[in-house]
A and B are shown apart, each in its own frame.
Chain A
Amino acid sequence: MRWEFHNESPIYAQVMERVERMIVSGALSPGERLPSVRVFAQEAGVNPNTMQKALTELERGGLIYSQRTSGHFVTEDQAVIIKAREELAKLQTERFLQSMQELGFTAAQAAALLQQRLEQTKEE
């Protein structure tokens, strides 16, 4: 199944985020070897150059590392994974606030709605 992409940002950035999510969620475990660039690119339905660029960027951030002959691996450094997880959560929060703003809600109003939702969940 090819990955789905939206139009607002470059494909490599979306590939990066997708791989980040796979690592943070544990779909890819610490120390796990990634498929080869070509195979991974095929799986995603993207150009191998795009996959290479995404992996190089992730490597720069420390989330994956490469060994010259045997390919790319997920980091075993939990601190790096936890940090990436927090970054993704921040990004998600930004997106939420952004779309609430587009609907005409201030950050405070959005927070209030979120609070309401949490209390509902508690009651259930």
Chain B
Amino acid sequence: MPIFTCENLTKRYGPVLALDHVNLNIEPGRIVGLLGPNGSGKSTMIKLANGLLTPSEGRILIDGKAPGVETKSIVSYLPERTYLADWMSVKQLLKFFQDMYEDFDRDRALAMLNHLNIAETQRIKQMSKGTREKVQLILVMSRRAKLYLLDEPIGGVDPAARDYILNTIIGNYEPNAAVIISTHLIADVEQMLDEVIFINGGHIIRHTPVDEIREQMGMSVDALFREEFKCF
């Protein structure tokens, strides 16, 4: 059974159609790239999956259920912008995650934080942007979730931090979980993806295994994306 399903999923903001009757299934155990230009509907889809928005039409299902309290306990979400209060210390954050999520593995998070020499007393506001992103990702990936929704996890960090973040994703997601990564930095993520979804103007224009793109078209996902989204 798919872990993530969209059925005729539609979202309107006033007259603007952000998602237009989208149908989609994602199976467990897959790492999927949700790729599209700015304003294509990527973030809208992720916010709908989190219950931060409600569909105008159609529905979205996570493990067969509409987003709500129950799905929040199996979905680990990394928002595009930080949602952690910046006065909080690492220690408080760990406590917060432990209280919020039953599937949070505190030891795993601690081990990763120690490895980066981040002290428990350090506060978010004292951290560099790169460190803040890493800490957030560590917390999100330390949950034993069934679905990880990562909205632009590597946007705005330097290449070394990018590698760290991608490695942390590969090394920590639950094998039976699905990971959805929304990004426009395709070249950086493509070697870790099983499938890609190209989204544009609220439509899914392609949902293909990465191997197929390379085998049948002889090109990288990045090259295909550039071709299909060429600006005239």
B and A form one assembly = yes
A binding-site residues for B, Cβ under 8 Å: 2-3, 5, 7-12, 38-39, 41-42, 45-50
* Cβ contacts under 8 Å, A10 to chain B: 210-211, 214-215
A-B pairs, 10 with minimum CB distance: A7-B220, A10-B211, A10-B214, A42-B171, A47-B192, A42-B170, A46-B191, A47-B31, A42-B167, A11-B191
Please pick, from B30, B163, B166, B214, the residue contacting A7 in the complex, using a CB distance under 8 A: B214
* Chain B: minimal CB distance from A56 (Å): 14
B binding-site residues for A, Cβ under 8 Å: 29-31, 163, 166-167, 170-171, 175, 191-194, 210-211, 214-215, 218-220, 222-223
Q: CB distance A47 to B194 under 8 Å?
A: yes
* Cβ contacts under 8 Å, A39 to chain B: 171
Q: CB distance B193 to A47 under 8 Å?
A: yes
* Chain B: minimal CB distance from A50 (Å): 8
Please pick, from B31, B163, B171, B215, the residue contacting A2 in the complex, using a CB distance under 8 A: B163
CB contacts between A and B, total, < 8 Å: 56
* Cβ contacts under 8 Å, A48 to chain B: 170, 175
| Residue in B29, B167, B214 whose Cβ sees the most chain A Cβ within 10 Å | B214
Q: CB distance A38 to B166 under 8 Å?
A: no
Q: CB distance A8 to B163 under 8 Å?
A: no
Q: What are some 15 contacts across the A-B interface (CB < 8 A)?
A: A3-B191, A10-B210, A41-B170, A42-B167, A45-B167, A45-B170, A46-B170, A46-B191, A46-B192, A47-B31, A47-B193, A47-B194, A49-B31, A50-B191, A50-B194
Q: CB distance B223 to A7 under 8 Å?
A: yes
* Cβ contacts under 8 Å, B194 to chain A: 47, 49-50
* Chain B: minimal CB distance from A5 (Å): 6
